[in-house]
Amino acid sequence: MSAGFLTYSRETPDYRPISERLLDFKEVYQEFPKENTVNQAARCMNCGVPFCHNGCPLGNLIPDFNTAVQQENWKLAYTLLAQTNNFPEFTGRICPAPCESACVLAINQPAVAIEHVEKAIIETAFDLGYVKPRLPKNRTGKKVAIVGSGPAGLAAAAELNQKGHSVTVFEKSDRIGGLLRYGIPDFKMEKWVIDRRIAIMEAEGIVFRTSLHCGADLTGAEMLMQFDAILLCTGALVPRDVPLPGRNLDGVHFAMDYLELGNRQSAGEYGDQQPAITAKGKHVIVIGGGDTGSDCVGTANRQGALSVTQLQYHVQPPDQRSEETPWPLFPMMMTTSSSHDEGCERRFAVLTKEFKGSKKGKLTGLAIDSIDWVTDPTTSKKSYQPMPEDSETLPCDLALIAVGYSGTEKRGLLEQLEVPLNERGNIISEKYRIGKSRIYTAGDSRRGQSWVVWAIAEGREAAQTIHAQMGV
C-alpha cells in the first residue's frame, strides 16, 4: 500500500485566468508538472477492495495504473488503461469521474485525482509513441454497420474491428464524433483530440461515412442486405421541450442547436461572422441546471453575452455529500464548473412560466415563479408548489432550453427496421440485441441520456454480444 495520501494533498491542474480563456475556445486547464501527477498517483492506497472499480462503468484497473504512474512506468500504465478503455483521452477530459466518488480515500479525505491521472497517461502515451494502429490478424468476412459516431458507436467499432469484422460507421453529420464533436464545447475538449483518434481507427481499417443519413440516403432494407449486423448508436437527441406561452418567439432555442453552432464557430466555419444563434450583446437565460446548461453558459460568455443566468427548478444542492447519496454512491451535491466561474447568476427553486415578447415577435423577457418543495411524510415523494407572490420577469433576449431529452429519433430508420421503443423513447433490447433480429443497440439510444463513460462501456459490451452471435 502506498502512503502518498499521508504526504500529498489532492491537486489538479489550475484553470487558465478567466480574462484569458474567455478570449478563445481552447481547453481551460493550464499545464501540470509531470512530477505532480506522479505524486497524485502515489495518493492511491491500493485498497484490498478497490471500490473505484465499482464506481467506474468500464471497470478500469485504477490502482494498477496508479502504481505504474507512481513508478513512472508510463508504457505499463497505458497498457493497463487501454485494456478497459478505448478512449481515455475523452473520459480524462469530460467524465464526471464516478470512480472518484467511490474512492475509499474519499471517505474522509479528497479523492485520488483519478481522472487527471488517466488523462496524463494517455497524453504521455501519445507523446512517447505508444499509441499506434493495431491491425487485426485475420478478417472474418462479416460486415457490421454502426449508425452513429458518438462514443458508443466508436467504442463498438474499435472492438468489432479488432475481432476481424469489417466495420462501417455511418454519421449523418459532416464530421465524426456525434455529441463529442458538436455537443461538447472546445473549452472542455478540443476537437483535434477526436481527429487524432479517428486517424488511428481509419489506419486500423474502420470505414467512416459522413453526411449520410441512414433511413433516407440508405434505407433499413438496403442495410440489412449489405451487412450481417446493424448496431444502432443513434443517441437520445430528441430534446424535451417546455410548451409555455411565447414558446415560438424569436430568441427561444434548444440548447443543443445553440451548442452545435457554437462548436462550428470555434472551428472557424463562420469566419468573422456570427452564427445564426449567438449570445453576443444579449441577456441570456439557460433553462436547466445540468452539464448541457453549463456548456451553454461557457459558450455564451465567450460570445460576449451581456448577462448569463441559469435556472434550476430543484433546490440548491448541499455543499457536502448528503445522507441520500452516501459513499460510495455518486453524490448529489453543489458543483461549480469553470463556466459558472466565468460569470453566471444561478437561480434555484424557480419555475419558468412564460416567454415574454415584443409586438414584432422578439423575445424580451422570461416570467418565473419561485417554488416551494415539500416532502410527503407518508410516501417521501417530493413535489413543488409555485409561489405566485414571488413572480418576476427577467430581461431575456436569448432563452436556451436545456431540460434533458425524451429519447431517440424514431422517424426514418427505426420505423423502417420496426425497432420497438419504451415509454421513455429508448430502444428496447435484451443484452443489446433487438428481439431475434440482426439489429442491436447501445449507448444513449438504449439507456437514455447518460455519461460518456457509460456510452463507451455500452459500445464495448454490445460488440461482445454481436461477435458472439456471429458464430465465427
* CATH number of the domain where residue 117 is located: 1.10.1060.10
User: In 3D, which of 264, 254, 257 has the Cα closest to residue 175?
Assistant: 264
> Which pLDDT belongs to residue 471?
77
Distance from the Cα of residue 440 to its chain's centroid: 22
Q: Which residues contact 467 (CB under 8 A, 6 or more apart)?
A: 159, 160, 163, 165
Phi then psi dihedrals of residue 296, to 5 deg: -65, -40
Phi then psi dihedrals of residue 161, to 5 deg: -65, -40
User: In 3D, which of 127, 187, 178 has the Cα closest to residue 341?
Assistant: 187
DSSP for 306-373, please give it: SEEEEEESSPPPPSS--TTS-TTSPP------HHHHTS-EEEESEEEEEEEE-TTSBEEEEEEEEEEE
Specify the 3-state DSSP secondary structure of 286: strand
> Which pLDDT belongs to residue 1?
53
Q: How far apart are CA 49 and CA 223, in angstroms?
A: 46
Average pLDDT over the chain, rounded to an integer: 95
Q: How far apart are CA 431 and CA 424, in angstroms?
A: 18
Number of domains in the chain: 3
Assess whether 296 and 433 both reside in one domain.
no
Assess whether 102 and 227 both reside in one domain.
no
**Residue that terminates a domain, selected from 127, 152, 168:** 127
> Which pLDDT belongs to residue 408?
93
Q: Which residues does residue 427 pair with via DSSP β-bridges, in sequence order?
A: 421
Residue 66, in any domain of the structure: yes
Residue 138, in any domain of the structure: no
Q: What is the extent of the structural domain holding 319? A: 252-401
Weakest-pLDDT range from 41-45, 321-325, 355-359: 321-325
> Which pLDDT belongs to residue 317?
87
Q: What is the pLDDT of residues 236-261, one digit of tens each?
A: 999 999 999 999 999 999 999 999 99
| pTM of the predicted model over 0.85 | yes
Residue 373, in any domain of the structure: yes
In this prediction, what percent of the chain has a pLDDT beyond 70?
100
Residue 247, in any domain of the structure: no
8 Å CB contact between 448 and 234: no
* Average pLDDT estimate for 264-291: 93
Q: How far apart are CA 84 and CA 65, in angstroms?
A: 12
